[in-house]
Amino acid sequence: MPHPAMSAHHVAVITGGASGIGLAAAMRFAGFGMKVCIADIGAERLAEAATKLSSAARGADVMTAEVDVSSFEQVVGLEAAVRKRFGGTDILMNNAGIGPDSNSFGPLENWRRILNVNLWGIIHGSQAFAPHMIERGRPGLIINTGSKQGITTPPGNPAYNVSKAGVKALTEALQHELRNTDGCKISAHLLIPGHVFTGLTARGRSEKPAGAWTPEQTIDFMIERIDTGDFYILCPDNDVPRQLDERRILWAAGDIVENRPALSRWHKDHAEAFARFVKGE
Protein backbone atom coordinates (compact mmCIF):
# COMPACT_ATOMS: atom_id res chain seq x y z
CA MET A 1 0.00 0.00 0.00
CA PRO A 2 1.27 3.52 -0.76
CA HIS A 3 2.14 5.96 2.00
CA PRO A 4 -1.04 7.37 3.64
CA ALA A 5 -0.29 10.80 2.16
CA MET A 6 -0.86 9.24 -1.27
CA SER A 7 -4.59 8.91 -0.71
CA ALA A 8 -7.64 10.02 -2.65
CA HIS A 9 -8.52 13.70 -2.23
CA HIS A 10 -5.15 14.51 -0.67
CA VAL A 11 -3.03 17.19 -2.32
CA ALA A 12 0.31 16.90 -4.15
CA VAL A 13 2.39 19.82 -5.39
CA ILE A 14 5.20 19.08 -7.85
CA THR A 15 7.67 21.68 -9.06
CA GLY A 16 9.19 20.96 -12.43
CA GLY A 17 5.94 19.11 -12.97
CA ALA A 18 5.39 19.75 -16.67
CA SER A 19 7.75 17.03 -17.89
CA GLY A 20 10.06 14.18 -16.99
CA ILE A 21 10.15 12.85 -13.44
CA GLY A 22 7.84 15.60 -12.22
CA LEU A 23 5.09 14.80 -14.70
CA ALA A 24 5.46 11.06 -14.06
CA ALA A 25 4.93 11.75 -10.34
CA ALA A 26 1.90 13.89 -11.08
CA MET A 27 0.46 11.06 -13.19
CA ARG A 28 0.89 8.52 -10.40
CA PHE A 29 -0.54 10.83 -7.74
CA ALA A 30 -3.53 11.67 -9.92
CA GLY A 31 -4.01 7.94 -10.45
CA PHE A 32 -4.38 7.60 -6.67
CA GLY A 33 -7.26 10.08 -6.85
CA MET A 34 -5.18 12.92 -5.45
CA LYS A 35 -5.59 16.58 -6.26
CA VAL A 36 -2.49 17.67 -8.12
CA CYS A 37 -0.77 20.99 -8.69
CA ILE A 38 2.03 21.07 -11.25
CA ALA A 39 4.27 24.13 -11.11
CA ASP A 40 6.76 24.95 -13.83
CA ILE A 41 7.81 27.65 -16.24
CA GLY A 42 6.12 28.04 -19.62
CA ALA A 43 2.35 28.36 -19.92
CA GLU A 44 2.23 26.19 -23.05
CA ARG A 45 4.20 23.38 -21.43
CA LEU A 46 1.93 23.49 -18.38
CA ALA A 47 -1.21 23.37 -20.54
CA GLU A 48 0.11 20.34 -22.44
CA ALA A 49 0.98 18.58 -19.19
CA ALA A 50 -2.45 19.31 -17.72
CA THR A 51 -4.07 17.81 -20.81
CA LYS A 52 -1.97 14.65 -20.47
CA LEU A 53 -2.89 14.41 -16.79
CA SER A 54 -6.60 14.83 -17.43
CA SER A 55 -6.50 12.23 -20.21
CA ALA A 56 -4.56 9.69 -18.15
CA ALA A 57 -6.58 10.14 -14.96
CA ARG A 58 -10.10 11.10 -15.95
CA GLY A 59 -11.80 13.32 -13.46
CA ALA A 60 -8.48 14.38 -11.93
CA ASP A 61 -8.54 17.73 -10.13
CA VAL A 62 -5.53 19.43 -11.70
CA MET A 63 -4.12 22.88 -10.97
CA THR A 64 -1.27 24.47 -12.90
CA ALA A 65 0.92 27.35 -11.81
CA GLU A 66 3.61 29.20 -13.73
CA VAL A 67 6.32 29.56 -11.10
CA ASP A 68 10.03 30.30 -11.10
CA VAL A 69 11.26 28.47 -8.00
CA SER A 70 14.33 30.70 -7.79
CA SER A 71 11.96 33.43 -6.57
CA PHE A 72 10.90 32.96 -2.95
CA GLU A 73 7.99 35.34 -3.47
CA GLN A 74 6.65 33.20 -6.31
CA VAL A 75 6.97 30.00 -4.27
CA VAL A 76 5.20 31.63 -1.32
CA GLY A 77 2.47 32.67 -3.74
CA LEU A 78 2.23 29.09 -5.01
CA GLU A 79 1.74 27.75 -1.48
CA ALA A 80 -0.98 30.32 -0.79
CA ALA A 81 -2.74 29.55 -4.09
CA VAL A 82 -2.72 25.81 -3.38
CA ARG A 83 -4.08 26.41 0.12
CA LYS A 84 -6.83 28.63 -1.27
CA ARG A 85 -7.92 26.08 -3.89
CA PHE A 86 -7.28 22.76 -2.15
CA GLY A 87 -7.04 23.64 1.54
CA GLY A 88 -3.38 22.69 1.97
CA THR A 89 -0.60 20.39 0.80
CA ASP A 90 0.06 16.77 1.77
CA ILE A 91 2.95 16.02 -0.59
CA LEU A 92 5.50 18.53 -1.76
CA MET A 93 7.90 17.32 -4.42
CA ASN A 94 10.71 19.83 -4.89
CA ASN A 95 11.77 18.55 -8.28
CA ALA A 96 12.52 21.54 -10.53
CA GLY A 97 16.04 21.36 -11.89
CA ILE A 98 18.28 22.56 -14.70
CA GLY A 99 21.74 21.53 -15.86
CA PRO A 100 23.52 23.91 -18.24
CA ASP A 101 27.21 23.21 -18.71
CA SER A 102 29.77 24.58 -16.29
CA ASN A 103 33.36 24.25 -15.19
CA SER A 104 35.27 25.64 -12.24
CA PHE A 105 35.96 28.89 -14.10
CA GLY A 106 32.47 29.57 -15.44
CA PRO A 107 30.31 30.57 -17.07
CA LEU A 108 29.37 32.44 -13.90
CA GLU A 109 25.80 32.96 -15.11
CA ASN A 110 25.33 29.19 -15.46
CA TRP A 111 26.54 28.72 -11.88
CA ARG A 112 24.03 31.28 -10.65
CA ARG A 113 21.14 29.79 -12.64
CA ILE A 114 21.85 26.24 -11.51
CA LEU A 115 22.21 27.13 -7.84
CA ASN A 116 19.18 29.42 -7.90
CA VAL A 117 16.90 26.70 -9.31
CA ASN A 118 18.38 23.42 -8.07
CA LEU A 119 19.33 24.47 -4.53
CA TRP A 120 17.55 27.71 -3.68
CA GLY A 121 14.38 26.38 -5.31
CA ILE A 122 14.30 23.54 -2.79
CA ILE A 123 15.13 25.86 0.10
CA HIS A 124 12.29 28.13 -1.00
CA GLY A 125 9.85 25.24 -1.35
CA SER A 126 10.72 23.77 2.02
CA GLN A 127 10.43 27.08 3.86
CA ALA A 128 7.23 28.15 2.14
CA PHE A 129 5.37 24.83 2.48
CA ALA A 130 6.70 22.90 5.50
CA PRO A 131 5.26 25.08 8.31
CA HIS A 132 1.74 24.89 6.85
CA MET A 133 2.10 21.15 6.17
CA ILE A 134 3.05 20.60 9.81
CA GLU A 135 0.10 22.70 10.99
CA ARG A 136 -2.19 20.61 8.77
CA GLY A 137 -1.63 17.74 11.20
CA ARG A 138 -1.83 14.99 8.57
CA PRO A 139 0.81 12.51 7.43
CA GLY A 140 2.76 14.18 4.65
CA LEU A 141 5.89 14.02 2.54
CA ILE A 142 8.52 16.43 1.31
CA ILE A 143 10.44 14.75 -1.49
CA ASN A 144 13.53 16.53 -2.79
CA THR A 145 15.10 15.45 -6.06
CA GLY A 146 18.84 15.06 -5.65
CA SER A 147 21.37 13.25 -7.81
CA LYS A 148 24.16 10.70 -7.56
CA GLN A 149 26.34 13.53 -8.87
CA GLY A 150 25.76 15.28 -5.55
CA ILE A 151 27.32 12.29 -3.76
CA THR A 152 30.18 11.10 -6.00
CA THR A 153 30.69 14.54 -7.68
CA PRO A 154 32.13 13.30 -10.99
CA PRO A 155 34.09 15.62 -13.28
CA GLY A 156 32.12 17.48 -15.92
CA ASN A 157 29.62 19.89 -14.40
CA PRO A 158 30.72 21.15 -10.98
CA ALA A 159 27.89 23.69 -10.65
CA TYR A 160 25.32 20.90 -10.95
CA ASN A 161 27.28 18.72 -8.51
CA VAL A 162 27.49 21.54 -5.97
CA SER A 163 23.76 22.19 -6.23
CA LYS A 164 22.85 18.55 -5.71
CA ALA A 165 25.37 18.08 -2.89
CA GLY A 166 23.59 21.00 -1.24
CA VAL A 167 20.23 19.32 -1.76
CA LYS A 168 21.53 16.20 0.01
CA ALA A 169 22.78 18.16 3.02
CA LEU A 170 19.62 20.26 3.16
CA THR A 171 17.28 17.27 3.00
CA GLU A 172 19.21 15.40 5.70
CA ALA A 173 18.94 18.42 8.00
CA LEU A 174 15.26 18.89 7.14
CA GLN A 175 14.40 15.29 8.02
CA HIS A 176 16.30 15.55 11.30
CA GLU A 177 14.38 18.69 12.25
CA LEU A 178 11.02 17.27 11.19
CA ARG A 179 11.41 14.08 13.22
CA ASN A 180 12.34 16.17 16.28
CA THR A 181 9.35 18.52 15.95
CA ASP A 182 6.57 17.68 18.40
CA GLY A 183 3.39 16.53 16.71
CA CYS A 184 4.94 16.62 13.23
CA LYS A 185 3.68 13.94 10.84
CA ILE A 186 5.76 15.11 7.88
CA SER A 187 8.84 13.24 6.70
CA ALA A 188 11.47 14.33 4.18
CA HIS A 189 13.04 12.03 1.59
CA LEU A 190 15.92 12.38 -0.85
CA LEU A 191 15.18 11.00 -4.32
CA ILE A 192 18.45 9.98 -5.99
CA PRO A 193 17.65 9.05 -9.59
CA GLY A 194 19.86 6.87 -11.74
CA HIS A 195 20.13 7.44 -15.47
CA VAL A 196 16.64 8.62 -16.42
CA PHE A 197 15.70 9.63 -19.95
CA THR A 198 14.17 13.10 -19.67
CA GLY A 199 14.42 16.40 -21.48
CA LEU A 200 17.25 17.36 -19.12
CA THR A 201 19.32 14.27 -19.95
CA ALA A 202 18.34 13.69 -23.59
CA ARG A 203 21.07 15.95 -25.00
CA GLY A 204 19.41 15.99 -28.41
CA ARG A 205 18.51 12.29 -28.47
CA SER A 206 14.94 11.35 -29.36
CA GLU A 207 15.07 7.70 -28.27
CA LYS A 208 15.71 6.39 -24.78
CA PRO A 209 19.14 4.74 -24.39
CA ALA A 210 18.92 1.08 -23.39
CA GLY A 211 20.67 1.78 -20.08
CA ALA A 212 18.27 4.47 -18.94
CA TRP A 213 15.10 4.12 -16.92
CA THR A 214 11.91 5.93 -17.82
CA PRO A 215 10.55 8.61 -15.49
CA GLU A 216 7.66 6.26 -14.73
CA GLN A 217 10.02 3.50 -13.55
CA THR A 218 11.78 6.00 -11.32
CA ILE A 219 8.55 7.17 -9.70
CA ASP A 220 7.28 3.62 -9.20
CA PHE A 221 10.55 2.81 -7.41
CA MET A 222 10.25 6.01 -5.35
CA ILE A 223 6.74 5.15 -4.20
CA GLU A 224 7.81 1.61 -3.28
CA ARG A 225 10.79 2.79 -1.24
CA ILE A 226 8.85 5.55 0.55
CA ASP A 227 6.38 2.88 1.60
CA THR A 228 9.24 0.96 3.23
CA GLY A 229 10.45 4.11 5.02
CA ASP A 230 13.61 4.81 3.03
CA PHE A 231 15.09 8.28 3.39
CA TYR A 232 17.75 7.79 0.72
CA ILE A 233 15.88 6.59 -2.36
CA LEU A 234 18.85 5.37 -4.39
CA CYS A 235 17.51 4.37 -7.79
CA PRO A 236 19.23 1.84 -10.04
CA ASP A 237 18.84 1.85 -13.82
CA ASN A 238 19.35 -0.66 -16.62
CA ASP A 239 23.14 -0.22 -16.56
CA VAL A 240 23.99 0.40 -12.91
CA PRO A 241 22.69 -1.93 -10.18
CA ARG A 242 22.61 -0.83 -6.55
CA GLN A 243 25.73 -2.83 -5.70
CA LEU A 244 27.81 -0.79 -8.17
CA ASP A 245 26.34 2.48 -6.84
CA GLU A 246 27.28 1.43 -3.32
CA ARG A 247 30.88 0.69 -4.31
CA ARG A 248 31.18 4.03 -6.10
CA ILE A 249 29.78 5.90 -3.11
CA LEU A 250 32.05 4.07 -0.68
CA TRP A 251 35.09 4.79 -2.85
CA ALA A 252 34.20 8.49 -2.97
CA ALA A 253 34.02 8.62 0.83
CA GLY A 254 37.28 6.71 0.95
CA ASP A 255 39.08 9.52 -0.85
CA ILE A 256 38.84 11.48 2.40
CA VAL A 257 39.52 8.60 4.79
CA GLU A 258 42.44 7.23 2.75
CA ASN A 259 43.73 10.71 1.83
CA ARG A 260 43.69 9.91 -1.87
CA PRO A 261 43.74 12.60 -4.59
CA ALA A 262 40.45 14.39 -5.17
CA LEU A 263 38.15 12.40 -7.46
CA SER A 264 40.63 9.55 -7.47
CA ARG A 265 38.13 7.31 -9.25
CA TRP A 266 39.04 9.27 -12.39
CA HIS A 267 42.78 9.56 -11.56
CA LYS A 268 45.05 7.40 -13.74
CA ASP A 269 47.17 6.31 -10.76
CA HIS A 270 44.13 4.87 -8.98
CA ALA A 271 42.19 3.37 -11.90
CA GLU A 272 43.39 -0.18 -11.26
CA ALA A 273 42.74 0.03 -7.50
CA PHE A 274 39.22 1.32 -8.14
CA ALA A 275 38.50 -1.52 -10.57
CA ARG A 276 39.60 -4.06 -7.94
CA PHE A 277 37.51 -2.31 -5.29
CA VAL A 278 34.40 -2.50 -7.46
CA LYS A 279 34.96 -6.25 -7.80
CA GLY A 280 35.25 -6.53 -4.02
CA GLU A 281 38.89 -7.60 -4.14
**Mean pLDDT in residue range 157-167:** 98
- Residue 203 pLDDT: 64
- Residue 209 pLDDT: 82
- Residue 55 pLDDT: 87
Task: Cite the active site residues.
Answer: 160
- Residue 201 pLDDT: 67
Ranges for all domains in the chain classified under CATH 3.40.50.720: 11-240
Each residue of 24-60: pLDDT tens digit? 999 999 999 999 999 999 999 999 999 999 888 887 8
* Inter-residue contact 52 to 30 (CB < 8 Å): no
Burial of 220 (0-12, 13-18, 19+ CB in 10 A): middle
- Residue 2 pLDDT: 84
- Give the CATH architecture of domain 11-240: 3-Layer(aba) Sandwich (3.40)
**Mean pLDDT in residue range 1-28:** 95
- Residue 202 pLDDT: 62
* pTM (predicted TM-score): 0.96
Each residue of 105-158: pLDDT tens digit? 999 999 999 999 999 999 999 999 999 999 999 999 999 999 999 999 999 999
What are residue 13's DSSP bridge partners? 37, 92
Backbone angles phi, psi at 149, to 5 degrees: -65, -20
**Mean pLDDT in residue range 17-25:** 97
Any alpha helices (H) in 97-148, and if so which ranges?
A: 108-114, 120-136
Each residue of 189-242: pLDDT tens digit? 999 999 999 876 666 676 878 889 999 999 999 999 999 999 999 999 999 999
- Residue 163 pLDDT: 98
